[in-house]
Amino acid sequence: MDIVSKNGNLLLNVPPKADGTLDERTEEILSAVGRWMDMNGEAIYCTRPWVKYGEDNLRFTRKDEILYVITLEWPGAGRSLDISSLGGNQGVGKISEVTMLGHHEKLTWEQNSEGLRIVLPVSPACEHAQSFRVVFPGGIEK
């Protein structure tokens, strides 16, 4: 996520063994990446960098009227994710919807002048980095 948020490309280096097969550990890693991409791929595929690549343990990508916020670490169940870059005083525009990829329950969130606060669900949607879809009707102003 760090590289993609800085306008880089997702690239995997998968060295096969001499007989052309993959070792068990490599297969496990590729399966884990595949599971993550199945759930969070829209925050990667066809996205562009935003004006900021990140904030603390968060990374940003964007596509049309959607800003993706990806957590590098899970803050914990019931805690809030506070994103000052998305405050009303930052000139980004008004948010109409916030969802978590792979999580089907409605999230509680609030945008005010100080930032965007998302109350996190009890458990993460996947094992690693979590992705949030933040919708700005008409596009992100900043």
Tens of pLDDT, residues 60-81: 999 999 999 999 998 887 799 9
The pLDDT tens digits for 84-95 are: 999 988 889 999
Query: How far apart are alpha carbons 4 and 44 in whole angstroms?
Result: 7
The domain limits of the chain are 1-142
Domain 1-142 fold: Immunoglobulin-like (2.60.40)
Q: Which one-letter DSSP state was computed for residue 137?
A: T
Report whether pLDDT(17) > 80: yes
Residue 134 is inside which H or E element, if any?
strand 130-135
pLDDT above 90 coverage of the chain, percent = 73
Which pLDDT score is estimated for 103? 93
Place of tokens 């945008």: 111
Cα–Cα distance between 58 and 30 in angstroms, integer?
23
- What is the mean predicted confidence (pLDDT) over 20-36? 93
Give residue 6's pLDDT.
92
Task: Judge whether residue 9 has pLDDT over 90.
Answer: no
- Segment 106-135 shows an average pLDDT of 93
Query: Is pLDDT of 141 > 70?
Result: no
* Cβ-proximal residues to 90 (8 Å cutoff; 6+ apart), any chain: 84, 115, 142
Q: Which two tokens stand for residue 27?
A: 């297969």
Give burial (CB, 10 Å; 0-12/13-18/19+) of 107: middle
